[in-house]
Amino acid sequence: MQNKEIKNICCIGAGYVGGPTMAVLAKHCPNIQVTVTDHNLERINDWNSIDLSKLPIYEPGLDEIVNKYRGKNLHFSSEVEKNISIADMIFISVNTPTKTKGVGAGKASDIKWVEACARQVANNAKNHTIIVEKSTLPVRTAEVIKNILESATSMKSQKNPSISFDVLSNPEFLSEGSAIQDLMHPDRVLIGGEEESAIDSLTEIYSNWVPKSKILRTNIWSSELAKLTANAFLAQRISSINSIAALCEATGADIREVSRAIGSDSRIGSKFLDAGPGFGGSCFKKDILNLVYLCEYFGLPEVAEFWEGVVKLNYWHQDRISQLVVKKLFGTVTGKKISILGFAFKANTNDTRESASIKICKDLLEEGAILSIHDPKVDSDQIAKDLKMKEKKSFKRDKLIKENTQEGNWYFSDEIYESINNADAVLVLTEWVDYTNINWDKVSKIMRKPSWIFDTRSIIEPGKVIKTGLNFWRLGDGLN
């Protein structure tokens, strides 16, 4: 079959993957009209906002691309069906959360939104259309999509023989905070499929900016499994280095020195060897648990147990940090103010999904702490949603002590020093550059003594803190 000329692309899903991916595609393919669709009208309105600070996703460089190409060949629309009908190629980029009930609950991915997309496509496509899986999906989901498309269009195709479909897998390998650079200069682009002409059509699009040597072709099942495996391996490295950080603290070693030593080994490499408060984001935990479910389903319990251990160790590590804070503050944080610096799961993103901050903050709130939370990109509404607790906008320690309350609460601080003022401890949970420039001499004068600084990201110079008389703890430092 001759390669299909792609003039119109429709992406279903205007989230963290769909929005940035289509923006970069539009930038490099001026002859293709790219439309990002979503039934969430509020999100589409945010994408179309004149005020670029209101874009629903924060990624360095994204606002510049949207500003330059929006309205030219990059569009955002809530008219999903209409754009499906004119599309030559459709990217499915919807959420695939972990199932909360039923078969596979707590581990398997829920593909109900993917199935809904397939049915929308089947009902509205007019001609031959290439469907591209962009969402992270379980192995053999493409088969489900293809069956739905073929079944739903069997009657339509009798009247219009031009209606047909090819299904490709094209997983994303983005790191939030650097997603635009990852899209502009990818390590690899993976395309899995059965029909060579469809693979060629997608290859031609990527070839506008990606060297063909970096475009890898596989069968569709390998492509789907490669995404899950990549995230599992990265998460495993994070859990591994965090486990060694705990050992460093117990033995007097320094995790930064250990990481540098093993990262210099060319067989290992240095990436994902920075100890921290634990992995977060939308993919790692979800993809590992999906991998666990698949292993169990195919009768590989030992393999399932191995990968599930990566997630369990991440939970343990986050609990360890909150317990350590309580221990250092004389065994109780009830009524004590703790300044939380950073709520996003990593710097340069406003994404809080599965952020280590959520678990650690919940633990401290349960212990009765008063949290003053600062983050340069995450707002108070999102924090309230994640903590499942409304914000209390004032902090009166004397009143809390007098009332002998055991309930913790939190409030949002717009400014770093406001968050720290009168605090018993500062807990750095996200590696925002803002936190590397804190004046610790000033901090020592506005905190309640004895004061503790907890650095889970190794972004603070210990000497600058210690010389002010503040107590200092750093993750993986055996000299704590």
**Catalytic residue list:** 283
Handedness of CA 220, 224, 229, 230 (dihedral sign): positive
Quote helix, strand, coil % in the chain, to nearest 5: 45, 15, 40
Residue corresponding to tokens 């990566």? 310
Q: Which residues contact 222 (CB under 8 A, 6 or more apart)?
A: 192
Q: Quick check: 315 and 321 in contact, CB under 8 A?
A: no
The set of residues, in sequence order, having a beta carbon less than 8 Å from that of 306 and lying 6+ positions away, is none
Enter the tokens of residue 11. 């992406």
Identify the burial level of 1 via C-beta atoms within 10 angstroms of its C-beta, where 0-12 means exposed, 13-18 middle and 19 or more buried: exposed
Q: Within 10 Å of residue 377's Cβ, how many Cβ atoms? A: 17
Q: 331: exposed, middle or buried (C-beta count within 10 Å: 0-12, 13-18, 19+)? A: exposed
User: E strand or H helix at 374, and its extent?
Assistant: strand 370-374
Q: Residue 445 contacts by C-beta under 8 Å, 6 or more apart in sequence? A: none
186 contacts 210 by C-beta, under 8 angstroms: yes
Residue type for position 189? V
- The label of the residue with tokens 């210099």 reads 264
What radius of gyration do the chain's Cα atoms show? 25
In the block, residue with structure tokens 């979503």: 38
Give bridge partners of residue 371 from the DSSP assignment: 338, 410
* Cβ count near 50 (within 10 Å): 6
Rounded to whole angstroms, how far apart are CA atoms 89 and 127?
10
**CA–centroid distance for 80 within its chain:** 25
Question: Do residues 476 and 256 lie in contact, with contact meaning Cβ atoms separated by under 8 Å?
Answer: yes
Q: List, in sequence order, every residue forming a beta bridge with 373; answer none if it has no partner.
A: 340, 412
Tokens coding 427: 């807990």
Contact 242, 235 (CB under 8 A): no
Q: What is the distance between the alpha carbons of residues 80 and 84, in angstroms, rounded to a whole number?
A: 6
- Cα separation of 325 and 426, whole Å? 10
